Amino acid sequence: MFLSDRQTEIVGMAKSNGRVFVEELATHFSVTPQTIRKDLNDLCDAQILTRVHGGATFPSGTENVKYEARRQIAATEKQAIGVAAAGLIPNNASLFINIGTTTEAVGEALMNHHELMVITNNINVANRLRLLPTIEVVIAGGVVRGSDGGIVGEAAVDFIRQFKVDYAVIGASAIDEDGALLDYDFREVKVAQAIIANARHVILVADSTKFERTAPVRIAQLPQVHTFITDRCITPSIRRLCQENSVKLIETGSAPA
C-alpha cells in the first residue's frame, strides 16, 4: 500500500498516542470526517492500524504486524539505517543478510558495491541482488515462509554453518530494556543464532519502534553484536549497555544519508 502524506502522519500520531480519533483528525487536517474514515479504513485494511469505534489504534506491541504493513512502518528510518549499514561494508567482503524489512533496506543500499558474496535466507534480498553482476548471491535452503519469503528451519541452520563471513546483518522484531533481541518464530531465531555465530562482525539494524514492542523468543543479547544502527536510541538502558560492552551505537535520525 502506498501511503499519502496524511496517512503517514496519521500512522505516526497513532504510534505516538496509541489511538487516534476521527473528529480530532478531521480538525487537525482540515478535512471532512468522511475523508478521515476512508484513510483509517485503508490503513486498517492494510493492517497498519486497527479500527475501533470513533477512530483507530496502533497495533499492540505483542502482535507480529504482517509483512506488507511492516514495510510501511518507519520506511524512511529504515532507508537511512540501510544506507548507514551499507557504508560499513567494504567491497570484496562476504556477509550474511537475515530476514526482515530493515535488513532488506540494507540490501537495497548495497547495490553499488562490488565483488560481494551475499549469503541470505531472505528471498526478497536474493531476488533483488541477483540482478547485479558484481554481487554473488548464495541462498539458504529450507522451509520458505509464505508470509515474507524468509527461509527457516534446520536445513537453513545447517547451510549457514558451512560459512564464516566478514559481516552479518541481522534484525529483530523487538528489543527489550535488558538488551534481549527478540522475535516471534523460533525457527527464524535458530537461523539468526547461526548467523551470529559464524560472522566476524555482527551489525544489528532496527528502527526505534522495536523498543516499543515485545516478542516471545530470544535471538541473542545486545553485547553479542558489534554495531547497532537505529534511527534513535530512546531507551537509556540500551545506550548504557552499548557503552559498557563496546557496542558501537549509530543513530541515523529520520532522513537517509
> What is the arithmetic mean of pLDDT over 155-164?
96
Domains and CATH numbers, the chain: 5-59 (1.10.10.10), 70-251 (3.40.50.1360)
The answer to whether the CB of 216 falls within 8 A of the CB of 235 is no
> What is the arithmetic mean of pLDDT over 80-86?
97
Give residue 161's region: left, alpha or beta (phi > 0; psi -120 to 50).
Answer: alpha
Q: What is the pTM of this model?
A: 0.76
Query: For cell 535488558, what's the residue?
Result: 178
**For residue 255, what pLDDT is reported?**
45
Nearest to 201 by CA among 230, 222, 226, 170: 226
pLDDT band at 257, cuts 50/70/90?
very low
Of 213 and 101, the structure prediction assigns the larger pLDDT to 101
The torsion angle over the Cα atoms of residues 186, 189, 191 and 193, rounded to 10 degrees, is: -140
